[in-house]
Every structure is written in C-alpha cells, then in structure tokens.
Structure 1
Amino acid sequence: MKRLRCVEPVVAVYSFASFLLFPLVQQYVYRRLWMDLTNSTYPSGDDGSRCGVNGSSNRSSSHEEVQRAASLFSLHTELFSMVPSLAVTFLLVAYSDQCGRKITIVLPLVGSILYCCSFLAVSFFQLGLNWLIAASVASALFGGIGTMLGGCFSYVADLCQDGQGRTLRIAGVDMVIGLLSGVASISSGYFVRAAGFNWPLFTSALCQFLNLLYAVLVLEESRVPERSGEVTCRAAARGLLLGVRQLFVGGGHRRNVLLPVLMVTFALFSFSDIGSMSAITLYELNEPLCWNEVLIGYGSALSTIVFLTSFVGVLVLSRCASDVTIVFIGMVSVTTGLVMIAFARTTLMMFLVRIPMLLGVMPFPVLRSMMSKVVSTSEQGALFACVAFLESLSGNVALAAFSSIYAATVAWYPGFTFLLAAALCFIPIVMLSIVKLIGPVDANETEPLLPGAETGDPVDPVA
C-alpha cells in the first residue's frame, strides 16, 4: 500500500472524536451529580431555558451546589491525570527526533480509545463517576492531546522548510482542529437528545479506532534518522537530554533569550485562554442562561468560526504585517471577547461575544512558527516537546485553577473567571514588546553544538 505524508486527516478525525467526547463529559457528570445531590430527575426542555421563569430560590441553590460539585470534579480529574500526561508528552515528542514522529501520534490514539471505552462502560452500566478519573489517568499514560499535537506540528515542520509556508500550514492544522471540533460540538447536542450518551461515545471510539488504522497503515514517517547500530535505552536517554539542552544553549545569545521569552508568552496566553474556555459550558448551564444541550452545541459550533477567520487572518496579515503584530491583534481579540462573556446575561449576547473573538486563534500557530524558525531541523522534536509540555502544563494548571476559582465565585459572580482571564492576557501582551525589542535572530548567529549532539541545518530568522 502506498503511504501518504499527510497528517491533516489524523488531526481532523482526532479533533472530531475528541470534541464529540469533551462536551459529553461535563454534561454527563453534571446530570449525574444533579440526580445524586437533588434526588430528582434532571430538568430538560426544548426551549433552552430550564431555570428561567419557573425558577425558585431552592432551584437556584441546587444549581449552585451542582455547579460547584461539577467544577471540583473537573479539578480532581485534571490533577490526577496531569503528571503522567506531562511526562509522557515531553518524553515522546522529544524522543521523536531519534525514533520518528509516528509514535507521538499512535500512542495518544490508543489512550483515547481506552478512555472512550471506559466512559461508555460507566454510562452503560451506571458505574461510579470515580471510574472516569481512573480512566483519565490510564489514558494519560499514553500521552494526550498535547502529545498528539506536538507530534503533528513536528511532522509538519519536517515537511516545510519555507518560513511562511510553515506558518500557513501550522495555521491550517489549527483551522482543521477548530472546524472539526465545531462539527462535533453541534452534533453532540442533537446526538445526546436523540440517542442518549451511549451512541455518541461509541461513535467517538469507532472514529479513533479508524484513525489509528490510518496512522499505522497509511501515514508515512516524516523523519527516520539513520542509525549506525543498535541504540541502547541509556544512549537514547542521553541523546534526548542533549537535544533538549542544545535547544537552549546551542544558539547565540539573542536566540537563547528569544526562545524562552516566546515559550513563556505562549504558555501564559495558553493558560488564560484554555482556563477561561473550560468554564464556558458550566457558565452556559447556569442561571440566567440555562442552556440545554442543543444550545451548548450551537455555541461551541459558532466558536469554531474563530478558527476559520483566524486562518484567513494569518493568510492575509502575513503578507503585510510582522509576526509580532499578528500575535498582538489575536491577543487583543481574545481579551475583548472574555470581557464581554463576563457580562453576558442573555442567549443573544452569549452568541454575539464570538464576534470580537474572530481572530483569537491567530497567536497559537504564529507563535509556534516563530519558535520553529529559530531552531534547526534536527531540533524540531525537542522544540515541540517543550512547547507541548508547556501547553499541557499551562492547560492542566489552568483547568484546575479556573475550576477552583469558578467553584468559589459562582455563587456571587459567575463572570469573575472571565474577567480574571482577560486581565491575565495583558501579561503576554506586554511580553510581546520584549520579543519586538530583541528583534529577529540572525541565521548565522549560532554557536558550536555540544559533543555528541546532531548537527542541524542553518537556522531561519524569525519573520
């Protein structure tokens, strides 16, 4: 069978299956906790308002109690799965410079299948919710979305040598993630209403299984380093550590300053963005919005337009603006939208907050591309391992932190979480001035490699 060097189908199917699953977790946990804590059936309706005109103080108190319990359950899940996911992400993606990229794609798919099947068992047999935490930890041992994306972006970097072409293809991968996640999100609401939770879970598991077959049988490896002989585990570990160390000490002074600043900027913005987005579903379920599963699906689907408009934004702005300017516009877009979410009290207003966030995804692919341009070809795996590690760490810490904050503030002001996230966005915006001050790294500004490290290609300047 002829193999293909096209990783986008893997990203597309993985995104669809994962984002078909993610909204189900919060909604399933919310419904189970509602029944356990209130000893009543979960309220539902076709009008999208389960707690509006017929609300009472007792009903309001129940919503706050369930909101708090659901938020803390999310916190516990993230805390238990964070450490194994971070460790596996860092080791696998960094090691892909030596063993190839496919391992970073195949193992997360195995973990996703394991989690889907476990969730299906919990739903079908009405097992305890703690089994979901155990399944999340087991899945994290195979890596997670950070491992998958780190491997896919390294795969793309292997295939694209041109700086602008790499930026556009990385932005294209982000767009695929957004569009397919939107299709999954809008489908999940109707799917749950028509068939309950079991069939969507089975569909997600089936998609991940077919995706695994494509990755193993069809996808061609993008990087197969030549090996003179058998490589021991000790030698592989030494090579991995040397590769990561080389990333931060092997370049000139300006590169050694610019790369950490870009990474910290990326991590801080990811922290604010992921943390705030994690609370949106609970915010929409709460008063005064009281959305049902269909409206939640529509809201998530509308958010995916951001990925398409952000891709168009990168495509257009990359021809007339610097990378720093593009990132700045995207961060301001997110900050404005978060402030509006904090004050959204009607369904129409909650839909309209997506408008100022139309360019909100631009910072992620552009920052990845900026970092990729300042390191050599042989260091792409080490770079994206560090980026995936930081993204996973900031994402997991953000989910835990914002879940705790939302649980603590939901009773007196649910929108506080989004105002806090908007305020935190100003830190990476300020750090962009440091990036601008450092300026582009010269292609010849390198230092000799460490002994035993692999010699890479000339370094591209930051656009």
Structure 2
Amino acid sequence: MKGLYFIEPIVAIYAFASFMVYPLVQQYVYRRLWLEITNTSYPASENNTHCAPNSSDYTSQQEEVQKAASLFSMYSDLSSMIPSLIMTLLLVAYSDQRGRKITIVMPLIGSLIYTVSFLTISYFELNLYLLIAASFVSALFGGIGTMLGGCFSYVADLCEDDKQKTLRMAVVDMMIGMLAGVASISTGYFLHAAGFNWPFFTSALFQAINLLYATFILEETRVIDRSETMACCRALQKLGCSIFSLFAEGSQQKKKVLLLLIFTFSSLSFVNIGGLSMVTLYELKEPLCWSEILIGYGSAASTSIFITSFVGLYLFSRCLSNTAIVFIGMLSIAGSMLLTAFAKTTILMFLVRVPAMFAIMPFPVLRSMMSKVVSNSEQGALFACVAFTESLSSNVAATVFSRLYAATVAWCPGFVFLLGASLCIIPMSLLGILKCNHSLDSNDSHALLSEDGTEASDDPVVA
C-alpha cells in the first residue's frame, strides 16, 4: 500500500492524547499525596471549588501536600532531563541518514510507554514513585521537542516554496493549540465523571493508533541511500563538528548575533516553561481550590494563546519589525505572570490569560531570525543546537521553579510568578543589546553570510 505524506493527523492526535494526560498528572499526584500525608480522602465537591472554609488544619495540610507535589514534580523532571537531551541530539543527528520518521516514531513509543505506565499505576494503585521511573524510560525515546522537531523537518522536506512551508508550519502550530484546548476541556469532565483510569486508557488508545499510522502509513520524505549511511556515533560526531564550526568559524558579528539570539531564546523559554509548570498546583491551592472541570477550562484557555499568538504574529508582521514583535511577546509573558502572582479569585485567574495572548509570538520569530543568520548548509546544525538548548532550559526551569515553589508556598505562593516576571528582564535586555548593536535588516543579513563566503538566504531578516 502506498504511504501518505500527511503529518497533520499525527500532530493532531498527539496533541489531543498528550493534553488529555498533562492536566491529569499533577492532579493525580496531588490526590495520591493528599491521601498518603493526611490519611483522609481528597475533598471532592460538586461545586467548582473544594476549599474548606476557616480551617487552619486544612490549610497546613494543604501546604504540606503542595510542597510534596512540587518536589515530586522536580524529581520527575530531573529523571527525564539527561536522557531526553541525549536522545534529542542522537535522533536529530541520525535523521539526516535514516530519514525523518525515526524522530517521530521513537517519541511516540516513549509517550505510549509513559501513558500505559500511568494507567497501570492508577488502576492497580501501585507506588507513586514508579512514575519517576516511567518518566526516565520514556525519555530514552526522546521527548516532545524531538517529536515536534521531526514533524517540522518532515514539513520542510515536503515544501520547496518558502511561503508554502511557512503556511503549513503555521497550520501545524494552530492544530497543536486547538486540539490541546479541546482535550483540556474534555479531560475535566471525563475525570469528574469516570475518574483517572478512563482518561488514561483513552489517551493510550489514541497514542497507539498514532504510532501505527506513523509506522505503517506515513511515507518517508528522505530517500535513504544505504551506501551513504553512517554509524550513529559517527553521525553524532559529524553533528558536533558542525555545531562547533557554527560558532568557531565566520565573522565576529555573525557569531555575536547568533549567540545573542540563542541566549535570548533560551532565557525566555526558561521563564515561560518555569511559570507554566506551576500553574496547576497554584490553582489547586487556597484560595482558588479549583476542581478538575475548572482546571480543564483553565488549561484550554492557556492553549488558546497558540491561536491568538498566530493571529497577532500575522497582523503585527505587516507593520512591525521582528524585534518589536518579540518584545511585545516578552511583555505578554511578564504581564501574565505578574497578574498570576496576585490572582486570588476564579475570575481573575481566568483573566490572567488575556495578557498572555501573545506569549507564543517570540519563539517562531526568534527561530526565523536565527535561521536567516546562517547559510543553508548550516541549518541542521543550528536547529539541533536550538533543540538541545530549548530542552535543557525547559527541564532546568521546571526543576528550579518546582523547588522554589516548595520552599515559598507557605508564605508566598505567587513568589515563583513574581520571579518569572522579573527574570523577563534578561531576554529583554539581550534583545535590546541585539537591536542597538546589530541591526538585522535585509542588507546586514546578507553581509553576515557573505563575509563567510557562503550564499545568503533568499528571505531577508526584517527587524
């Protein structure tokens, strides 16, 4: 049977299945720890919240559970960080030799293992810390960054026209946001009606279907020449040399611009992921005490920023420079975190998503700016480096913010969000230095490349 070249179904199913599980992870851990620490059942309620009014014992118990849950999240992130980073480099390095499907199929296997492990632990009520082992094992197959990187590489292989490539990648981004929102809302009602087991089973079923499609139906975009394939270690060595030459060779201006862009991207990713990783725990705590249904709506509201950011990027790109668009996105992240730190009511907690409506804009713009600084022959090395630094900053951010939340939840639960808003000064400052010292307009982009003796990209960098 002739295969298909449609990557969109994989992205859609992956987003739906993954965001059926993500909102449940912290809720499940929180409820299990509540049972173990307090020796009482979790305070379920038919209302939107479940706070126990005027109860000092309840407050102290809740703070203890919050600390334990945030530390558990830190241990889980630490267990998956190193193998995920290593596998990201290995799979990216080997995909040029063995085809793009390996970067898609392997993370799907890891996601299926993680979901089935969650289902097994939930159904048989096994030791909660087995989830950390499941995180480690699933990370050996790559993470979400590896999978999405493979999907975008697949799209890039298919599209020769730059406009078509940009449009199709934008559609993939839109599908992630839309399907994640639908999954987040349905999961809240699913959990309320049937408990944890059925959502985990449904997610595992979707992951299995997705894996079958990617393995047996999706067609490979790269024709593999067996005579030119190389060992994985040699491919990784070649990638390392390419990354080294990316920063060791070329003009001083090019290296400075590239380093500033990567540091800006990584620091912004650190702040954004760190803050997002603590939102669910913050919503479970007093005075919000959200139910699973409200958490589902909150997660859906958060994922809707993929859509609003796409619309904002489309409109702003017609009248503003790249650096101005990135700066607006940074202000969006900082403003949202600042409001979250002081959100004490359900309405205000939903409203904090409004200033975050442009929070995703900086990331595709910064990727585009980086890709225009290097030549076509350096694109693979660049994005392998970007994927590594993004995964590293995201994992470290989740770990650091989890530890800080555990240490400050008793006296200031919103401290991590105040810290995140303050840390936005770092990428803003780096962007200001980039704008003042290196004006990346069309001519400068070509100049950076021509100094290396390489051919400039057809698309100019607009800033």
Q: Which interval holds the TM-score relative to the shorter structure?
A: over 0.9
Q: What is the CA distance between 1:242 and its match in structure 2?
A: 2.5
Aligned residue type for 1:333: S
1:225 to 1:131, Cα distance in 2 relative to 1, 3 A: same
Q: What is the CA distance between 1:227 and its match in structure 2?
A: 5.8
Correspondences of 1:224-263 after superposition (within 5 Å):
224=223, 226=225, 228-229=227-228, 231-233=230-232, 235-263=234-262
Stretches of structure 1 lacking an aligned partner (at least 5 in a row): 450-455
Q: Which residue of 2 aligns with 1:210?
A: 209
1:174 to 1:425, Cα distance in 2 relative to 1, 3 A: farther
Q: What is the CA distance between 1:99 and its match in structure 2?
A: 2.7
Q: Is the 8 A contact 1:97 1:380 kept in 2?
A: no
Aligned residue type for 1:95: Y
1:231 to 1:49, Cα distance in 2 relative to 1, 3 A: closer
Q: Which residue of 2 aligns with 1:50?
A: 50
Distance in 2 (CA, whole Å) between partners of 1:281 and 1:105 is: 28
Q: Is the 8 A contact 2:90 2:236 kept in 1?
A: no
Q: What is the CA distance between 1:187 and its match in structure 2?
A: 1.2
TM normalised by structure 2 equals: 0.93
Q: Is the 8 A contact 2:20 2:187 kept in 1?
A: yes
Q: What is the CA distance between 1:164 and its match in structure 2?
A: 5.9
1:375 to 1:154, Cα distance in 2 relative to 1, 3 A: farther
Q: Is the 8 A contact 1:111 1:140 kept in 2?
A: yes
Q: Which residue of 1 aligns with 2:149?
A: 150
Q: Classify the secondary structure of the residue corresponding to 1:358.
A: helix
1:234 to 1:306, Cα distance in 2 relative to 1, 3 A: closer
Q: What is the CA distance between 1:430 and its match in structure 2?
A: 1.4
Q: Is the 8 A contact 1:104 1:151 kept in 2?
A: yes
Q: Classify the secondary structure of the residue corresponding to 1:4.
A: coil
Q: Classify the secondary structure of the residue corresponding to 1:48.
A: coil
Question: For each residue in 1:232-286, what CA deviation from the matched residue of structure 2 results, as whole angstroms up to 9, or x when unmatched?
Answer: 4454333222332233345443332222211111110010000001111000000
**439-448 vs 421-430, which deviates more?**
439-448
Q: Which residue of 1 aligns with 2:403?
A: 404
Q: Which residue of 1 aligns with 2:285?
A: 286
Q: Which residue of 2 aligns with 1:118?
A: 117
1:279 to 1:400, Cα distance in 2 relative to 1, 3 A: same
Q: What is the CA distance between 1:17 and its match in structure 2?
A: 1.1
Q: Which residue of 1 aligns with 2:450?
A: 445
Aligned residue type for 1:61: S
Distance in 2 (CA, whole Å) between partners of 1:178 and 1:401 is: 26
Q: Is the 8 A contact 1:74 1:403 kept in 2?
A: yes
Distance in 1 (CA, whole Å) between partners of 2:103 and 2:290 is: 37
Q: Which residue of 2 aligns with 1:60?
A: 59
Q: Which residue of 1 aligns with 2:31?
A: 31
1:61 to 1:216, Cα distance in 2 relative to 1, 3 A: same
Distance in 2 (CA, whole Å) between partners of 1:427 and 1:93 is: 29
Stretches of structure 2 lacking an aligned partner (at least 5 in a row): none
Q: Is the 8 A contact 1:158 1:377 kept in 2?
A: no
Distance in 1 (CA, whole Å) between partners of 2:298 and 2:333 is: 16
1:5 to 1:433, Cα distance in 2 relative to 1, 3 A: farther
Q: Classify the secondary structure of the residue corresponding to 1:77.
A: helix
Distance in 1 (CA, whole Å) between partners of 2:219 and 2:460 is: 29
Correspondences of 1:360-379 after superposition (within 5 Å):
360-379=359-378
Question: For each residue in 1:426-449, what CA deviation from the matched residue of structure 2 results, as whole angstroms up to 9, or x when unmatched?
Answer: 111111123323133216425368
Q: Which residue of 2 aligns with 1:194?
A: 193
Distance in 2 (CA, whole Å) between partners of 1:345 and 1:230 is: 58
Q: Is the 8 A contact 1:279 1:402 kept in 2?
A: yes
1:60 to 1:422, Cα distance in 2 relative to 1, 3 A: same
1:260 to 1:76, Cα distance in 2 relative to 1, 3 A: same
Structure with the bigger RCO (C-alpha within 8 Å, sep 6+) is 1
Correspondences of 1:372-391 after superposition (within 5 Å):
372-391=371-390
Q: What is the CA distance between 1:336 and its match in structure 2?
A: 0.8
Q: Which residue of 1 aligns with 2:358?
A: 359
Distance in 1 (CA, whole Å) between partners of 2:344 and 2:321 is: 37
Matched, 1:324 2:328: no
Q: Is the 8 A contact 1:275 1:398 kept in 2?
A: yes
Q: Which residue of 2 aligns with 1:3?
A: 3
Correspondences of 1:297-312 after superposition (within 5 Å):
297-312=296-311
Q: What is the CA distance between 1:96 and its match in structure 2?
A: 2.1
Distance in 2 (CA, whole Å) between partners of 1:203 and 1:251 is: 51
Q: What is the CA distance between 1:69 and its match in structure 2?
A: 0.4
Distance in 2 (CA, whole Å) between partners of 1:45 and 1:123 is: 21
Distance in 1 (CA, whole Å) between partners of 2:171 and 2:248 is: 31
1:332 to 1:119, Cα distance in 2 relative to 1, 3 A: same
Distance in 1 (CA, whole Å) between partners of 2:171 and 2:249 is: 30
Matched, 1:264 2:263: yes
Distance in 1 (CA, whole Å) between partners of 2:364 and 2:36 is: 43
Aligned residue type for 2:44: S
**212-221 vs 373-382, which deviates more?**
373-382
Q: Which residue of 2 aligns with 1:452?
A: none
1:246 to 1:354, Cα distance in 2 relative to 1, 3 A: same
Q: What is the CA distance between 1:92 and its match in structure 2?
A: 1.2
Count of aligned pairs between the two proteins: 456
Q: What is the CA distance between 1:87 and its match in structure 2?
A: 0.8
Distance in 1 (CA, whole Å) between partners of 2:254 and 2:439 is: 10
Quote the sequence identity (%): 60
Q: Is the 8 A contact 1:95 1:381 kept in 2?
A: no
Q: CA RMSD in A?
A: 2.1
Correspondences of 1:167-178 after superposition (within 5 Å):
167-178=166-177
Q: Classify the secondary structure of the residue corresponding to 1:288.
A: coil
TM normalised by structure 1 equals: 0.93
Distance in 1 (CA, whole Å) between partners of 2:96 and 2:264 is: 25
Aligned residue type for 1:13: I
Distance in 2 (CA, whole Å) between partners of 1:72 and 1:158 is: 42
1:61 to 1:41, Cα distance in 2 relative to 1, 3 A: same
Correspondences of 1:428-439 after superposition (within 5 Å):
428-436=427-435, 437-439=437-439
Question: For each residue in 1:126-179, what CA deviation from the matched residue of structure 2 results, as whole angstroms up to 9, or x when unmatched?
Answer: 000111000100000000112112222333333455666555544433322222
Q: Is the 8 A contact 1:250 1:448 kept in 2?
A: no
Aligned residue type for 1:447: D
1:322 to 1:225, Cα distance in 2 relative to 1, 3 A: farther
1:379 to 1:208, Cα distance in 2 relative to 1, 3 A: farther
Q: Is the 8 A contact 2:97 2:229 kept in 1?
A: no
